[in-house]
Every structure is written in C-alpha cells, then in structure tokens.
Amino acid sequence: MRTLNYGAYLIQLTRLPRAFPVNFYLVRDSDGLTLVDTGIPGSAPGILAAAQACGLPIRRIVLTHAHGDHLGSVDALRAALPEAEFIVSARDARFLAGDMRVNADEPQSKLRGAYQTIASKPTRLVQDGDYIGALRVIAAPGHTPGHIALFDERDGTLLAGDAFQTRAGLAVSGTVRWLFPFPALATWHKPTALASAQRLRALQPARLAVGHGEVLEQPGAALDKAIDEAVRLLSKEQGYGA
C-alpha cells in the first residue's frame, strides 16, 4: 500500500497505484484519526498499519458513498476497531442495507456502479453541513444519490470522493477519461454531478484529494477547466437528446 503525506493533516493511502488506483485517507484530528473510505477488500491491514505508524487511534470511519471500491474493508475494520464510529450519509446508508429504490423526488436515472450491502450498521448518519471532527460534510450527489464530500476548513483540503477523478486528467464525475473510464461509467446522474462539482468549486479548495488519482495542490484553474468541459459535453448530449 502506498502512503503519501500532504500538509499537516492528510495522509493518502493507495491500493494498486499503477493499475487501478483506489485511494482512502487518514485525516489527523485533535482526538486521533478520521478514515475517509476503506478501499477494496483486503485494505484493512495496511490501513491499521498506517494508523499505527502515526501513533494515533482511528476514531471515525466515514464513507463518501456506497460503492464497493470505497466500502470493501468496512466490515474488517469494524471488527478490528469496535470503538470507532462508522459514519455514512443518510441517503447512501439505505443502499448499504439493500434498499435500491430511487426516491420520487430524485432524477429517475438508473443506478450505476458496484453497490454492495455490508454487515456493519452505521453508528451515525450525516447530511450537508454536519461536522465529522474537523471535516464539514458537503452534500455532493450525482455519482451516487447520497455522495458526500468532506471539507477540511483548517487548510482548505477537499476530500471529494468520486465527485471528481484526477487519474488520466482531472474530470467531473460523469466525464469519461478513456484511460480510466470507470468512475464516469459508475455515475448515476451527470447533471446532478455537475451541479455538485460547481458547488465544491465554490469552496475554493487549496488541495483536492479524490478516490481515484493523485492529490492536486491549488486545483482552482484545473477545476474550472474540468467543469467547463463537463458543461460543454452535457449541453451537447442534451442537444442530441432533444
């Protein structure tokens, strides 16, 4: 497992960095660590070792969304860390329990990507504006209906999950990068993902940390470009659809 440090708080952990990079993050907080996403199955030993190397306990496990490459090691981690909170958005928590219905007030698009049920029950459900330690929850639906991002107001780090990818070039969720198309192909509703991207951009993040790809420092200009591209592609698609 690859481990990289960014600034005072962020540690990026990566499985399969060359072939199919899957990231998850340890964030230093005043009482220990918050783990954001858990990777594919088999990631727990590496996560626990990385926390031990910090000399800090993992207090909280948070999922950005309910896809298998983000929740794959939750059950193993819960077994190893029974005291840690397990935190999920109220909306995506329903998928974890096997309820795959789309709400009447949501876009009636097909759910995509590898949703998966797990044995672990969340100990806390969150929504937009809540705080998880130092991290502010930002609703960022689109990739999944209940996708969340986490904003570290201490240094402007945005943990965006799959709302963006940086592998094969920064892209809004739903914009296909043919060298790494998987996050785009797993996106539920592109217009919603684009609106979320614009909302995340407005936070003016100083650092962007995503589920797939490298961390980007001072991502403002690259975000603008990716959002412009998504606007263009979407208006083209909608034009053809009309």
Q: Which segments of 16-139 are extended strands (E)? A: 22-29, 32-36, 58-62, 85-89, 124-126, 131-132, 135-139
Residue 72 interacts with Zn ion (CB under 5 A)?
Answer: no
Which of 44-52, 98-106, 116-124, 204-212 is the region at the interface with Zn ion (rule: CB under 5 A)?
Answer: 204-212
Residue 162 interacts with Zn ion (CB under 5 A)?
Answer: yes
CA distance 149 to 132: 11
Indicate the residue among 19 and 221 with the shorter CB distance to Zn ion: 19
CB 155 within 8 A of CB 206: yes
Indicate the residue among 34 and 187 with the shorter CB distance to Zn ion: 187
CA distance 217 to 207: 4
Q: What are phi and psi of 237, to 5 degrees?
A: -60, -45
SS3 48: helix
CB of 139 to Zn ion, least distance (A): 18
Indicate the residue among 32 and 46 with the shorter CB distance to Zn ion: 46
Two tokens, residue 72? 């794959």
The backbone region for 236, taken as left when phi is positive above 0, alpha when psi lies in -120 to 50, beta otherwise, is: alpha
CB 36 within 8 A of CB 66: no
Residue 92 interacts with Zn ion (CB under 5 A)?
Answer: no
Write each residue from 121 to 140 as x if it is in contact with Zn ion (CB under 5 A), else as -, in one continuous string.
--------------------
- Residue 230 one-letter amino acid: A
Write each residue from 51 to 70 as x if it is in contact with Zn ion (CB under 5 A), else as -, in one continuous string.
------------------x-
How many residues touch Zn ion (CB under 5 A)? 3
Residue 211 interacts with Zn ion (CB under 5 A)?
Answer: yes
Indicate the residue among 134 and 210 with the shorter CB distance to Zn ion: 210
CB of 16 to Zn ion, least distance (A): 12
CB of 52 to Zn ion, least distance (A): 26
CB 50 within 8 A of CB 3: yes
Indicate the residue among 21 and 133 with the shorter CB distance to Zn ion: 21
Indicate the residue among 1 and 54 with the shorter CB distance to Zn ion: 1
Two tokens, residue 162? 């799959």
Q: Which residues here bind Zn ion, judged by CB under 5 A?
A: 69, 162, 211
